[in-house]
Structure 1
Amino acid sequence: MRVTPSLRLTLTAVTGLALFVPVIHVPWNDPAPADAAPLSAQDIESAHDVESAYDVEPSYRELPLRQVSGTRLSSASAQTQPFGMVGVTWPVRASSAAVEVKVRVQRNGTWAAWERLTVEDDHGPDGAEGKQRSGTEPIWVGTADGVEASVTTTDGTTMPDAKVILIQPGFRAADNDPPATPATPEQPIQPEASRAPYGMPRIVGRPGWGADEKLRSHNGAACAKPKYTSTVQAAFVHHTADTNNYTSAQVPAMIRGMYAYHVKSRGWCDLGYNFLVDKFGRAWEGRYGGMQLPVLGAHTGSFNANSFGVSLIGNFDKVAPSAQMMEMTARIVAWKLDANYRSPLATVILDGSKLGTVSGHRDTKATACPGKNLYSKIGWLKQRVNALMGKSVSTEIYRRAQQHGGYRAIGQPFWGEHPTRSGRATYFGALDIYWSARTGAWSVRGGFKAQFRKIGPDGFLGMPTGEQRNGRVSGSRKQPFRNGALYWSPKTGMFPVAGLISRKYGALGAEGSRLGLPTSGMYKVNGGQQQRFQHGKLTASTRTQKVYIS
Structure 2
Amino acid sequence: DMRERIAGGTLLAVLASLLVTSAPTVSPAAGAPASPSSAAAPRTERDGSTAVDEVAVPAVPAFARTHALGTTADPAPVVVARLTRRDTDEFGLVALTWTQGSAGPGTEARVRVREAGSWSSWQELHYEPSESPGGAEAAATGVRDGTEPLWVGDADGVQVRVLAEPGNAPTDVTLVLIDSAAQPSDAALAQRPGAAYLRNDLAGLRPTRPMAASGTRSITTSPGTSTAARTNGYAYVPKPDLVRRSEWGANPVLSGPCDSPRYGETVLAAFVHHTAGSNNYSEGDAPAIVRSVYAYHTQGRGWCDIGYNFLVDRYGNVYEGRRGGFRRPVRGAHSGDYNTNSVGISLMGNFELVQPNKRIRGALVRVLAWKLQSNYRAPRARTWLNGARFRNISGHRDAMSTACPGINVYSRLRDIRARVDNVMGGYDTRIHRRWVEKYGGRTGVLGAPFVGERKIDDGRGRVTVFEHGRIYSGRGTGAVMVNGRMLASYVSDYDGVDGRLGYPTIGSQPSSRSGVRTTRFEAGRMFSAKAIGARALWGPILHRYQRAGGVNSAMGLPLSKPKRIPGGRRALFQYAWIYYDRSSDTTSVRYR
Q: TM-score when scaled to structure 1? A: 0.87
- Name the residue aligned to 2:552: 512
- Aligned match of 1:414 in 450, 456, 464? 450
Mean CA deviation greater in 329-338 or 86-95:
86-95
In structure 2, how many angstroms separate the alpha carbons of the residues matched to 1:425 and 1:174? 33
- In the TM superposition, 1:10-49 aligns within 5 A as 22-29=39-46
In structure 2, how many angstroms separate the alpha carbons of the residues matched to 1:122 and 1:239? 14
In structure 1, how many angstroms separate the alpha carbons of the residues matched to 2:406 and 2:84? 31
Question: How far apart are 1:180 and its partner, in Å?
Answer: 7.9
Question: How far apart are 1:77 and its partner, in Å?
Answer: 4.8
In structure 1, how many angstroms separate the alpha carbons of the residues matched to 2:104 and 2:148? 13
In structure 2, how many angstroms separate the alpha carbons of the residues matched to 1:378 and 1:407? 27
The residue type paired with residue 496 of structure 1 is A
Structure 2 residue 589 is the aligned partner of structure 1 residue 549: yes
Measured against aligned partners, the alpha-carbon deviations of 1:31-52 in whole angstroms (never above 9, x if no partner) come to: xxxxxxxxxxxxxxxxxxx83x
In structure 1, how many angstroms separate the alpha carbons of the residues matched to 2:23 and 2:32? 27
- Name the residue aligned to 2:475: 437
- In the TM superposition, 1:234-253 aligns within 5 A as 234-253=269-288
- Name the residue aligned to 1:461: 501
- In the TM superposition, 1:68-79 aligns within 5 A as 68-69=60-61, 70-72=63-65, 74-79=82-87
Q: Percent identity?
A: 36
- In the TM superposition, 1:133-282 aligns within 5 A as 133-178=144-189, 187-192=227-232, 197-216=236-255, 218=256, 220-222=257-259, 225-282=260-317
In structure 2, how many angstroms separate the alpha carbons of the residues matched to 1:543 and 1:172? 60
Q: Residues 100 and 453 of structure 1: is their aligned pair in 2 closer, same or farther, counting only changes over 3 Å?
A: same
- Name the residue aligned to 1:44: none
Question: How far apart are 1:329 and its partner, in Å?
Answer: 0.5
- Name the residue aligned to 1:100: 108
Residue 466 of structure 1 aligns to a residue whose secondary structure is strand
Q: Residues 292 and 79 of structure 1: is their aligned pair in 2 closer, same or farther, counting only changes over 3 Å?
A: same
Q: Residues 134 and 362 of structure 1: is their aligned pair in 2 closer, same or farther, counting only changes over 3 Å?
A: same
Query: What is the RMSD computed on CA atoms of the aligned residues?
Result: 2.7
Question: Are the equivalent residues in 1 in contact too, given 2:24–2:44 (CA < 8 A)?
Answer: no
Measured against aligned partners, the alpha-carbon deviations of 1:389-440 in whole angstroms (never above 9, x if no partner) come to: 11x2211111111222222113111111111123111122233211112210
Mean CA deviation greater in 111-120 or 270-279:
111-120
- Name the residue aligned to 1:47: none
Q: Residues 4 and 478 of structure 1: is their aligned pair in 2 closer, same or farther, counting only changes over 3 Å?
A: closer
Q: How many pairs does the alignment contain?
A: 515
Q: TM-score when scaled to structure 2? A: 0.81
The residue type paired with residue 98 of structure 1 is G
In structure 2, how many angstroms separate the alpha carbons of the residues matched to 1:173 and 1:519? 55
Q: Residues 548 and 214 of structure 1: is their aligned pair in 2 closer, same or farther, counting only changes over 3 Å?
A: farther
- Name the residue aligned to 1:395: 429
In structure 2, how many angstroms separate the alpha carbons of the residues matched to 1:503 and 1:19? 86
Question: Are the equivalent residues in 2 in contact too, given 1:8–1:78 (CA < 8 A)?
Answer: yes
Residue 400 of structure 1 aligns to a residue whose secondary structure is helix
- Name the residue aligned to 1:296: 331
Residue 45 of structure 2 aligns to a residue whose secondary structure is coil
The residue type paired with residue 400 of structure 1 is R
Measured against aligned partners, the alpha-carbon deviations of 1:116-164 in whole angstroms (never above 9, x if no partner) come to: 1111111111111116211110111111111111112123333331000
The residue type paired with residue 300 of structure 1 is S
Question: Are the equivalent residues in 1 in contact too, given 2:50–2:295 (CA < 8 A)?
Answer: no
- Name the residue aligned to 2:125: 117
Question: Are the equivalent residues in 2 in contact too, given 1:120–1:136 (CA < 8 A)?
Answer: yes
- Aligned match of 1:331 in 366, 370, 373? 366
Name stretches of at least 5 consecutive residues in structure 1 with no aligned partner: 30-49, 52-56
Question: Are the equivalent residues in 1 in contact too, given 2:133–2:332 (CA < 8 A)?
Answer: yes
- Name the residue aligned to 1:62: 54
Question: Are the equivalent residues in 2 in contact too, given 1:20–1:149 (CA < 8 A)?
Answer: no
Question: Are the equivalent residues in 2 in contact too, given 1:22–1:76 (CA < 8 A)?
Answer: no
Mean CA deviation greater in 58-67 or 249-258:
58-67
The residue type paired with residue 341 of structure 1 is Y
In structure 2, how many angstroms separate the alpha carbons of the residues matched to 1:378 and 1:22? 48
In structure 2, how many angstroms separate the alpha carbons of the residues matched to 1:494 and 1:159? 60
Question: Are the equivalent residues in 1 in contact too, given 2:25–2:41 (CA < 8 A)?
Answer: no
Q: Residues 208 and 25 of structure 1: is their aligned pair in 2 closer, same or farther, counting only changes over 3 Å?
A: same
Mean CA deviation greater in 417-426 or 162-171:
417-426
Question: Are the equivalent residues in 2 in contact too, given 1:8–1:146 (CA < 8 A)?
Answer: no
- Aligned match of 2:93 in 66, 85, 88? 85
- Name the residue aligned to 1:361: 396
Structure 2 residue 538 is the aligned partner of structure 1 residue 537: no
- Name the residue aligned to 2:9: none
Question: How far apart are 1:200 and its partner, in Å?
Answer: 0.7
Q: Residues 309 and 542 of structure 1: is their aligned pair in 2 closer, same or farther, counting only changes over 3 Å?
A: farther
Mean CA deviation greater in 536-545 or 168-177:
536-545
Question: How far apart are 1:214 and its partner, in Å?
Answer: 2.0
Question: Are the equivalent residues in 2 in contact too, given 1:235–1:307 (CA < 8 A)?
Answer: yes
Structure 2 residue 410 is the aligned partner of structure 1 residue 375: yes
In structure 2, how many angstroms separate the alpha carbons of the residues matched to 1:545 and 1:312? 63
Residue 338 of structure 2 aligns to a residue whose secondary structure is coil
Measured against aligned partners, the alpha-carbon deviations of 1:440-464 in whole angstroms (never above 9, x if no partner) come to: 0111122222222323232221111
In structure 1, how many angstroms separate the alpha carbons of the residues matched to 2:170 and 2:345? 32
Residue 503 of structure 2 aligns to a residue whose secondary structure is coil
